[in-house]
Amino acid sequence: MPQEASKVSDPDADTKVAAEAVAESSKQAEAESANESGDEETGTAEGAEGAAGKKKKSKKNKIKDALSGKGKAGEVTDLNAPAGGILPKEAMNMLLANNPALANELQGKANNKDDLQKLLQALNLNEMLTGLAPQGSQKDMASHAFWKTQPVPSFDEMANKDNIKDGPIKEIDIEKVDKNPSPMYPGFEWVTMDLEQEKQLEEVYELLTNHYVEDKDATFRFKYSPSFLNWALKAPGWKKEWHVGVRATASGKLVAFISGIPIQMRVRDKVLNCSEVNFLCVHKKLRSKRLAPVLIKEITRRCYVEGTFQAVYTVGSLLPTPVSTARYFHRAINWEKLYDVGFSPLPHGSTKQRQIVRYKLDDTTFTPGLREMEAKDVDATLSLLQRYLERMDMAQVFNKTEFEHWMAPKEKPKEQVVWSYVVEDPDTHKITDYFSFYNLESTVIGNKKHDTIKAAYLFYYATEVAFEKDEVKLKKRLNLLMKDALILAKKADFDVFNALTLLDNPLFLEEQRFGAGDGSLHYYFYNYRAAPIPGGINSRNQASKDHMGGIGLVML
């Protein structure tokens, strides 16, 4: 489902978020105070006029008032100050609700509600604001009321993590599953997209290009190429029926889409046959039609018909209820371009030239025996990756056909999608290491100088060093491999290298100069309950080696 279009976090923007939160809560406090004191002589019409006047107050003025201390809340000047001395309880609870990683951490430490409030009061603003789920720019993922009707765990259930027993939420009787779709709204009709037809693949491409995930400032939008979609939507075992579209009856125009592909996924010691649901997209002008819940129900029905009763999906926004949350990190390759388009900020006290020098990469790689992966390497590399992923709580279970499709496609597309490299020991000729990344461009909206950002996304990797169970050695090896991955990405003309806090990524993000992004990615199961899985971030939403090793599933 929709991912998160993240960019490098800007501390100044965090201050503005704090100011808005303070201003909003101050406004509520003033309204409550006015209601309590009550001016009996004030007429209804006058009160309504006053309320309307308040509503018209601009965000700019709210921020200004909050920062100058005009509101009832404290002045926001230091993000490291204790939140309890600045934010009212309502504002703190609001921020906590948008930071699931922090909420889970605090709930785990607190014995009761009083303990939770004390821990909350002691946090500083920076801890509460880091990595908040952006609001307002997410795609229509249906309301929380809709998700309450679905077989997904509630927030309360996941809060009691010690009592969670992994397993299906609902038993599905395949004989009782509807064989036909539910009626579509008047003026629209269900279609099954045939992606073997170039024209229909192009239609999906056009819909996603113009209406899929944007960042919270509507500056960037994912740009999935036809080559990428062929790769992503036609994995081994793919089913045409799981490429679901909605057309406008009158024009025949494709206005909505959702997809699923079959995967085997291990959650701790259980292997599930499930669908990986992705690319939920609704035309912007039709968001009010509430097509998202209808699409979700239909892809669910089609999966049930095939005997697939569980699903996994990722979303940038907070829904009931994530099994894990990871954070995006970004490593600039072409910093100047990223700055020009508003992707990377210029830090206080620095200059453009210093930033360019800071992110400069070598021209040649450092690891002896590093080369592109070839067909002859598939068996050895697959074995290495399988053993590596066994260390994770949750991971995809690859067979050879799937591995070849994802890491070493036999048919070369018009545009290269994935890059895979191995390290061959010069003496033994054994494959000791492997890493890969894929290409996903983003459209730059409204920039006269640049129209796209070419982004490399870290995919899967593995190393024999991991089995020595020496974290110092593993960190050293991963930093060497990722340094080379960055150099190879630069040679392939990428502008930025993106990674989540999955796998063992926290071991190299800081040393390789990745910057924290402003987006998080939540992992969800459908019709499956599982105790929370660490996503590589701590209670402050920072990359943490103490919380890594949970997620071994990279979703596109």
- Three-state secondary structure call for residue 229: helix
Residue 257 near residue 209 (C-beta atoms within 8 A): no
The token duo for 518 is: 């402003």
Residue 378, C-beta contacts closer than 8 angstroms, at least 6 positions apart: 400, 403, 404, 407, 408
Pick from 317, 256, 321, 244: nearest CA to 283: 256
* CATH of range 324-552; options 3.30.1360.100, 3.60.20.10, 3.40.50.300, 3.40.630.30: 3.40.630.30
Q: What is the pLDDT of residue 147?
A: 87
Question: What would the mean pLDDT of 67-71 be, rounded to a whole number?
Answer: 41
CATH dotted code for 144-312:
3.40.630.30
- pLDDT interval class at 13 (50, 70, 90): low
Asked if residue 75 has pLDDT above 50, the reply is: no
Residue 550, C-beta contacts closer than 8 angstroms, at least 6 positions apart: 324, 392, 393, 394, 533, 534, 535, 536
Asked if residue 117 has pLDDT above 50, the reply is: yes
Instruction: List the catalytic residue out of 120, 384, 488, 556.
Output: 556
In degrees, rounded to 5, the angle at the alpha carbon of residue 168 between the alpha carbons of residues 290 and 393 is 100
What average pLDDT does the chain have? 83
Cα dist. 100→95, 126, 164 in Å?
A: 10, 15, 17
The token duo for 511 is: 């040393």
How far apart CA 96 and CA 106 sit, in angstroms, is 10
Residue 145 near residue 154 (C-beta atoms within 8 A): no
Question: What percent of the chain clears pLDDT 70, i.e. is strictly above it?
Answer: 75
How far apart CA 433 and CA 549 sit, in angstroms, is 18
**Domain residue limits, the chain:** 11-129, 144-312, 324-552
Question: In this structure, what DSSP letter does residue 162 have?
Answer: G
How far apart CA 35 and CA 39 sit, in angstroms, is 8
First to last CA, the chain: 9
The residue ranking higher by pLDDT, 97 or 227, is 227
Residue 517 near residue 147 (C-beta atoms within 8 A): no
Instruction: Report how far Cα 56 is from the mean position of its chain's Cα atoms.
Output: 34
Asked if residue 516 has pLDDT above 70, the reply is: yes
Instruction: Mean pLDDT check: name the lowest of 99-103, 159-163, 484-488, 541-545.
Output: 99-103
Cβ neighbour number for residue 200 with a 10 Å cutoff: 17
Instruction: Mean pLDDT check: name the lowest of 38-47, 165-174, 300-309.
Output: 38-47
How far apart CA 403 and CA 440 sit, in angstroms, is 19
How far apart CA 223 and CA 205 sit, in angstroms, is 8
Question: What would the mean pLDDT of 282-303 be, rounded to a whole number?
Answer: 94
Question: What percent of the chain clears pLDDT 90, i.e. is strictly above it?
Answer: 62
Q: Where are the alpha helices (DSSP H) in 56-160?
A: 59-68, 89-97, 100-109, 113-122, 125-129, 144-147, 155-159
- pLDDT interval class at 3 (50, 70, 90): low
Shared fold status for 144-312 and 324-552: yes
The token duo for 250 is: 């009158």
In degrees, rounded to 5, the angle at the alpha carbon of residue 313 between the alpha carbons of residues 181 and 179 is 15
The residue ranking higher by pLDDT, 216 or 301, is 301
Question: What would the mean pLDDT of 153-169 be, rounded to a whole number?
Answer: 88
Asked if residue 52 has pLDDT above 50, the reply is: no
Omega before 321 within 30 of 0, i.e. cis: yes
CB neighbour class for 535 (10 Å; exposed up to 12, middle 13-18, buried from 19): buried
How far apart CA 233 and CA 196 sit, in angstroms, is 11
The residue ranking higher by pLDDT, 528 or 68, is 528
Q: Helix 100-109 vs helix 89-97: angle between axes, to the nearest 10 degrees? A: 110
- Give the helix/strand (H/E) hosting 98: none
Asked if residue 248 has pLDDT above 80, the reply is: yes
Residue 507 near residue 475 (C-beta atoms within 8 A): yes
The token duo for 71 is: 């509101």
Q: What is the pLDDT of residue 145?
A: 79
Q: What is the pLDDT of residue 50?
A: 40
- Give the helix/strand (H/E) hosting 48: helix 44-55
Instruction: Mean pLDDT check: name the lowest of 89-98, 156-165, 424-433, 480-489.
Output: 89-98
CB neighbour class for 137 (10 Å; exposed up to 12, middle 13-18, buried from 19): middle
Question: What would the mean pLDDT of 381-405 be, rounded to a whole number?
Answer: 98
- pLDDT interval class at 30 (50, 70, 90): very low
What are the pLDDT digits (tens) for 174-197?
999 999 999 999 999 999 999 999
What are the pLDDT digits (tens) for 304-358?
999 999 999 999 888 988 999 999 999 999 999 999 999 999 999 999 999 999 9
Q: What is the pLDDT of residue 123?
A: 64
How far apart CA 326 and CA 322 sit, in angstroms, is 10
Q: What is the pLDDT of residue 325?
A: 96
Q: What is the pLDDT of residue 216?
A: 60
Asked if residue 140 has pLDDT above 70, the reply is: no
Q: What is the pLDDT of residue 64?
A: 36
Pick from 487, 484, 498: nearest CA to 556: 498
Q: What is the pLDDT of residue 363?
A: 97
**208 is annotated as an active-site residue:** no
- Unique residue bearing structure tokens 């954070």: 327
- Unique residue bearing structure tokens 């050293």: 476
Question: In this structure, what DSSP letter does residue 482 have?
Answer: H
How far apart CA 548 and CA 535 sit, in angstroms, is 6
